Structures are given as C-alpha cells and as structure tokens.
Amino acid sequence: MSETRTEISSLGEFGLINHLTRNFETKQASTVVSVGDDAAVIDHFGNQTVITTDLLIEGVHFDLMYTPLKHLGYKSVIVNLSDIYAMNATPTHITMSIGISNRFSVEAIDEFYEGVYAACERYNVDLAGGDTSASQKGFIISVTAIGEVAPGKFVKRSTANKGDLICVSGDLGGAFLGLTLLEREKKIFLESPQVQPDLENEDYIVGRLLKPEARKDIIDFLEDRGVVPTAMMDVSDGISSEILHICRQSGLGCKIYEEKLPIAEDARKAAFKFGLDATVCALNGGEDYELIFTMSQDDYDKITINEEISVIGYMTDEEEGCKFLSKGGNTFNITAQGWNAFGK
C-alpha cells in the first residue's frame, strides 16, 4: 500500500465513490444500468434471478491485524459468489456497501477495492452499485450478489432424496487451521511485539482462510457431465452444520464416513502441530467455501473422473438420524458446532 495518506474527508462521499469506480468497466450483457445512477438495471433475458447478501463486521468476521485489505476485498466478494453457485446459478453482479471510520485513508480503501475488482475480474462479475458511509464501529462490509439460472434449474437445500450420495468438493478444515495459526501468532505478538510471526510452511492453511475461491469449476463440471444435484449448499459453517440443514429441510437422515472426508496433508500436519483432531476441524471448522451436494447414485460414474469431488456418505430415512461413522467403527450423532456469530 502507498505510504501517501489521503483523508477520505477530502473527497467526500460522492468523490470517494467516483474515485473507487473510475476504472471499472462492465462485462455482462445483462447490465443495462450500472454504477452512477439511483439504481442498477439488469436484464437476465428470461432466466430466473438469484440474490444473496452477507454482512461482514470487523472484530466479528475478520481481524485486520492479520487480514490484508486486498485479501479482505477479494474474500468479501467470494463468500457471496459461493452462495450463488450453491444454488446451481451463475453470478453476474454484486453491490458493495462499506462503513469506514476516519482511521482508514483513501489509499487503504483503494487496496480493499483492488481485491474486490480482482474477484469481479476472475469470476466475470459486474459491480452494479453500492454505498459508502461513516462508521464508528470499525470496518463494516455488506455485499449483495445477483445471479441467473435457467427456469427451474436452481437447486435448493430441501430436495435431497433417500439413497442419494453425499458429495463434497475440495478439502476441509484448512481455513479453520489457518485461523488457529493466525490467532496464535496474534496472541504471541500482543504479548511480545519483538517476536516475528512464525508462518513458515503454512502457506496452504493461511491461504485457505484469507483467500478462498468459489467453486465455479465444480458447477461447470457437473453441467458438462449432465449431473444435476438434488440438494446443495456451500460450506461456510462446517459440513456438520450444512448436512444437518440438508437433512432437516429434506426430512431425511444421513450417514457420513470419517475415512471418506477429504483433508489435505498440509491440514493434517497443521492439526497435529496444534494438538487438534483433523477430523473435528473438517467437520466443524467452517469458512472452507467448498460445495456439499447430494445426487442420485445413478450419476456416480459421471463424477469419478474428478479428483476434486469426494463421496462422503449417503442420505437415509429420517428415523435413522444423522450419523457419523468413525474409522474405528463407532457411530456418533452429528451435531452442529460450526461458526456462531452470536456466540460469546
């Protein structure tokens, strides 16, 4: 970030908006009116529109002691795009609203927006509007993502069927372990500011937390293979929480097998180093932003070619409950222990 400091007050609200959006160009044919008017106008040409929103608050959802502003801008977009993909839809637009205190300079907000624009560029999404405001409670970010899907092709949480396979993309637990590492280093720094952070060989888990990616590739692969998930969610709170949502809303139970959970070797090593159980991190960690979905057993052969998709269990009758089968042969009830923004 530049060492020059320009006070936001020197630009004013409208001057800041013009400054932040001056180089942004629309890419989507569906964008009729974008930034600069009272509202955006979007024409999805007969497709259905999918909308999601997330609120990110400093001190609750992110810590600026170890979160670079550019990474924060990127991630704030990704967490919303992930929700759109989880509906089997394609994101096309976002709106970005921020509340900022006077401790932030124009240069700092520029750095944040570099990440926003990088995410928009990578996923071919237009910034359609937003707002800026003063904040007395730190940095507040509100993002709304808008997408499109062919009529009737969206996928809900509530439509899984008995016998469906439970699949998950990528690997699990890495983001939680990255958070554990950075929180540890923050504590050490606050106690001993002269001690340098020890992040050697931890790029993977730190990256999983600070710069996640939305799984557009999985949605594209499933479409190419003619596979339509019967239910789907993104993994933001841990797969234990997500599969319970699918089970409850579909009126079903499930069985998940520990030996089938995809956990990266770097994550296993980090868990061992921190004295944590890698399986517990995978089940309850959250912020992985992978996709968990159910599909017909008839489609199994269509996905085996993709090493980024793991089958971790199957759906059962509701009366059988939601069960986790350990490598040792023990059976446990699945409980939700993921992220709770209102926890103390």
From CA 87, how far away is CA 148, in angstroms rounded?
10
pLDDT > 70? residue 23: no
Lowest mean pLDDT among 59-63, 189-193, 194-198: 194-198
Round the average pLDDT of the chain to a whole number and report it.
90
Both 317 and 172 in one domain: the answer is yes
Give the mean pLDDT of 238-259.
Answer: 96
CATH number at residue 113: 3.30.1330.10
User: Could you identify the residue written with the tokens 């009758």?
Assistant: 317
- Provide the domain count of the chain: 2
- pLDDT given for residue 77 in this prediction: 98
pLDDT band (50, 70, 90) for residue 27 = confident
Both 114 and 196 in one domain: the answer is no
Question: Which has the closest alpha carbon to 179: 61, 54, 266, 336?
Answer: 61
More confidently predicted of 147 and 42: 147
pLDDT > 90? residue 111: yes
- pLDDT given for residue 12 in this prediction: 59
Residue 100 lies in a domain: yes
pLDDT band (50, 70, 90) for residue 342 = very low
Both 175 and 319 in one domain: the answer is yes
Please tell me the pTM assigned to this model. Answer: 0.89
Q: What angle do CA 49, 53, 54 make, to 5 degrees?
A: 160
Both 13 and 87 in one domain: the answer is yes
**What does the pLDDT look like over 39-59, one tens digit per residue?**
667 788 889 999 999 999 999
pLDDT band (50, 70, 90) for residue 341 = very low
Residue 14 lies in a domain: yes
Both 93 and 219 in one domain: the answer is no
**What does the pLDDT look like over 235-246, one tens digit per residue?**
999 999 999 999
Residue 24 lies in a domain: yes
From CA 138, how far away is CA 80, in angstroms rounded?
21
From CA 76, how far away is CA 174, in angstroms rounded?
18
Residue 149 to residues 48, 79, 90, 249, Cα–Cα distance (Å): 5, 19, 6, 22
Sign of the C-alpha dihedral, residues 56, 278, 208, 157?
negative
| Rounded (10°) CA dihedral 13, 18, 20, 26 | 140
Give the mean pLDDT of 62-68.
Answer: 95
> What is the residue range of 108's domain?
8-149
- pLDDT given for residue 21 in this prediction: 63
The H or E element containing residue 99 is strand 90-100
C-alpha atoms less than 13 angstroms from C-alpha of 50 in its C-beta half-sphere: 24
Both 129 and 255 in one domain: the answer is no
Last residue within a domain, chosen from 118, 149, 180: 149
Both 22 and 131 in one domain: the answer is yes
- pLDDT given for residue 129 in this prediction: 86
C-alpha atoms less than 13 angstroms from C-alpha of 170 in its C-beta half-sphere: 25
Both 237 and 110 in one domain: the answer is no
Backbone phi, psi, residue 127, to 5°: -80, 110
Give the mean pLDDT of 78-87.
Answer: 97
From CA 140, how far away is CA 88, in angstroms rounded?
29
pLDDT > 90? residue 15: no
pLDDT band (50, 70, 90) for residue 14 = low
Backbone phi, psi, residue 187, to 5°: -60, -45
